[in-house]
């Protein structure tokens, strides 16, 4: 009980005092995603380093429940210094581990919203870059 209370406190703290909340000017990519169950959204700005392998900085904003916002806040901290490859390899278990509490099946979409936004944003960004490269080859 002690442990999970501590984690619950941590989630509330991230919800009330979100880290890296706001916008980054000139991010490498920006993406917004929605939890279709409730319409809550998270928008995330990501800055990659020059090699575009490592995440340097993340900021987010959005409207949503405590779990979605706390998860975005925690993820924004966790992602700084991790590689894009590590981000793309994350799954829902990693998100649940990060949150440190049991997440009911009903709330799992709230918990993984931020992770999905970051992953989809990266996928779209690198996908479009590939397209750019092929289209300039004409």
Tell whether residue 116 is a contact of ligand FES (CB under 6 A): no
Q: Which residue is nearest to ligand FES (CB)?
A: 110
Q: How far is the CB of 18 from ligand FES (least distance, A)?
A: 14
Q: How far is CA 18 from the centre of its chain?
A: 13
Closest distance between ligand FES and the C-beta of residue 59, in Å?
14
Stretch of 1-9, 30-38, 73-81, 85-93 contacting ligand FES, by CB under 6 A: 30-38
Task: Collapse the DSSP code of 108 into the 3-class scheme (helix H, G, I; strand E, B; otherwise coil) and give the result.
Answer: helix
Instruction: Give least dist CB 113 to ligand FES, A.
Output: 6
Nearest to 112 by CA among 101, 127, 99, 128: 99
- Answer yes or no whether residue 31 interacts with ligand FES by CB under 6 A: yes
Reported as type and span, the H/E element at residue 55 is strand 55-63
* Whether 61 contacts 30, CB under 8 Å: no
Of 32, 47, 103, 108, the one binding ligand FES by CB under 6 A: 32
DSSP 28: S
Told to check if 65 binds ligand FES by CB under 6 A, we report yes
* 6 lines the binding site for ligand FES (CB under 6 A): no
Q: At which residue do the structure tokens 């975005």 appear?
A: 72
How far is 138 from 29, CA to CA, in rounded Å? Answer: 26
Q: Which residues bind ligand FES (CB under 6 A)?
A: 31-32, 35, 38, 40, 64-65, 67-68, 110, 113, 121, 124
């Amino acid at each position: 009980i002690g442990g999970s209370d501590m984690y619950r406190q941590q989630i509330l703290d991230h919800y009330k005092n979100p880290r890296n909340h706001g916008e980054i000017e000139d991010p490498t990519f920006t993406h917004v995603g929605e939890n279709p169950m409730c319409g809550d959204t998270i928008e995330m700005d990501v800055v990659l380093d020059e090699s575009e392998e490592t995440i340097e900085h993340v900021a987010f904003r959005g409207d949503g429940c405590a779990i979605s916002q706390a998860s975005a806040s925690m993820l924004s901290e966790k992602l700084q210094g991790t590689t894009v490859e590590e981000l793309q390899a994350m799954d829902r278990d990693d998100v649940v581990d990060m949150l440190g509490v049991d997440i009911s099946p009903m709330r799992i979409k709230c918990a993984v919203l931020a992770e999905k936004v970051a992953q989809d944003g990266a996928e779209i960004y690198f996908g479009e870059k590939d397209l750019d490269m092929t289209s300039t080859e004409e």
